[in-house]
């Protein structure tokens, strides 16, 4: 299926040894907690782009969306997607992306009213990919202004629409398909209900904030304090070289 033909479709993660041994265990446990505390943000969902794939229009007059399910409750902090243009971007109006995340409407489709909407300009970088027509594919990255909490195991929907076609009917932007098998959704304009299409899934990724600091129960905190004290005994007798693992 040619991507330009797709436009038509859219318009329908000794005793001295004892303190040393225990102290080492304390080091391992505390260090593990420190590392968890400083973990960086990472991708929690991805449908990878594939060169040569079809790409569907997603502009103000022909909007697209795709579903996703996160494996756990997540604070989403960023989004990435891939797409192409009808002509060289320099010859077209400036991008005007409107990105929405929606809940399910109860029928396996995105709700008309989104949970969140973002309009800040994403970072656009060329990729080494081309779509089915040979048009260059670009990678777009957007950091959310604040983390968005989404429940795990629940269907949500991402809609990425480039509204730069408003006032320029020749401006077209196409969202690249991944190789994931499934359905996507389309509609003619904002406010319309979404229809379902079985032609495939779009390429995008969702990233999450680093894990929240670990809050230890009181009994565990006391246990760690005792282990740390024992390790100091070993240190005074020359049997432990324990240092502050988080410092």
For 68-96, how does the pLDDT look when each residue is reduced to its tens digit (9 = 90+)? 999 999 999 999 999 999 999 999 999 99
130 — phi, psi (to 5°)? -135, 155
For 24-56, how does the pLDDT look when each residue is reduced to its tens digit (9 = 90+)? 333 333 333 333 333 346 999 999 999 999 999
In DSSP terms, which residues pair with 136 in a beta bridge?
130
Tell whether the model's pLDDT for residue 230 goes beyond 80. no
For 175-200, how does the pLDDT look when each residue is reduced to its tens digit (9 = 90+)? 999 999 999 999 999 999 999 999 99
In whole angstroms, what is the distance from residue 64 CA to residue 229 CA?
60
More confident residue, 210 or 8: 210
In DSSP terms, which residues pair with 99 in a beta bridge?
118, 160
Contact in structure between 227 and 18 (CB atoms under 8 Å): no
More confident residue, 20 or 233: 233
Residue 229 pLDDT class (50, 70, 90 cuts):
very low
Tell whether the model's pLDDT for residue 220 goes beyond 60. no
Residue 209 pLDDT class (50, 70, 90 cuts):
confident
Contact in structure between 139 and 160 (CB atoms under 8 Å): no
pLDDT at 60: 97
In whole angstroms, what is the distance from residue 79 CA to residue 142 CA?
5
pLDDT at 210: 60
- State the residue for tokens 């991402």: 158
Listed range (78-92, 129-143, 206-220, 226-240) with the worst mean pLDDT: 226-240
Contact in structure between 57 and 165 (CB atoms under 8 Å): no
In whole angstroms, what is the distance from residue 9 CA to residue 3 CA?
10
In whole angstroms, what is the distance from residue 50 CA to residue 127 CA?
11
Q: Per-residue DSSP letters for 4-25?
A: HHHHHHHT---TTHHHHHHHHH
pLDDT at 19: 31
pLDDT at 5: 43
Buried b (16+ CB within 10 A) or exposed e, 164-188: bbeeeeebbbbbbbbeeeeebbbbe
In whole angstroms, what is the distance from residue 43 CA to residue 50 CA?
18
Domain boundaries, the chain: 3-13+34-208
Residue 20 pLDDT class (50, 70, 90 cuts):
very low
pLDDT at 213: 44
Residue 219 pLDDT class (50, 70, 90 cuts):
very low
């Amino acid at each position: 299926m040619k991507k330009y033909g797709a436009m038509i479709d859219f318009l329908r993660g000794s005793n001295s040894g004892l303190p040393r041994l225990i102290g080492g265990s304390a080091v391992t446990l505390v260090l593990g907690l420190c590392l968890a505390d400083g973990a960086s943000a990472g991708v929690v969902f991805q449908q990878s782009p594939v060169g040569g794939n079809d790409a569907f229009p997603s502009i103000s007059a022909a909007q697209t969306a795709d579903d996703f399910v996160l494996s756990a409750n997540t604070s989403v902090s960023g989004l990435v997607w891939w797409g192409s243009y009808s002509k060289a971007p320099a010859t077209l109006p400036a991008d005007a992306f409107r990105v929405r995340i929606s809940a399910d409407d109860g029928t396996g489709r995105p709700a008309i009213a989104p949970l969140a909407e973002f309009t800040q300009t994403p970072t656009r970088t060329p990729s080494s990919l081309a779509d089915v027509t040979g048009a260059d594919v670009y990678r777009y990255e957007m950091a959310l202004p604040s983390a968005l909490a989404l429940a795990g195991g629940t269907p949500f929907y991402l809609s990425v629409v480039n509204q730069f076609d408003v006032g320029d009917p020749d401006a077209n932007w196409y969202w690249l398909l991944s190789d994931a098998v499934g359905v996507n959704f389309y509609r003619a304009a904002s406010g319309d209900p979404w229809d379902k299409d079985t032609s495939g899934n779009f390429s995008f990724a969702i990233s999450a904030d680093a894990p929240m600091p670990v809050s230890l129960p009181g009994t565990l905190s006391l246990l760690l304090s005792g282990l740390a004290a024992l390790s100091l005994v070993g240190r005074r007798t020359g049997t432990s070289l324990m240092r502050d693992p988080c410092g």
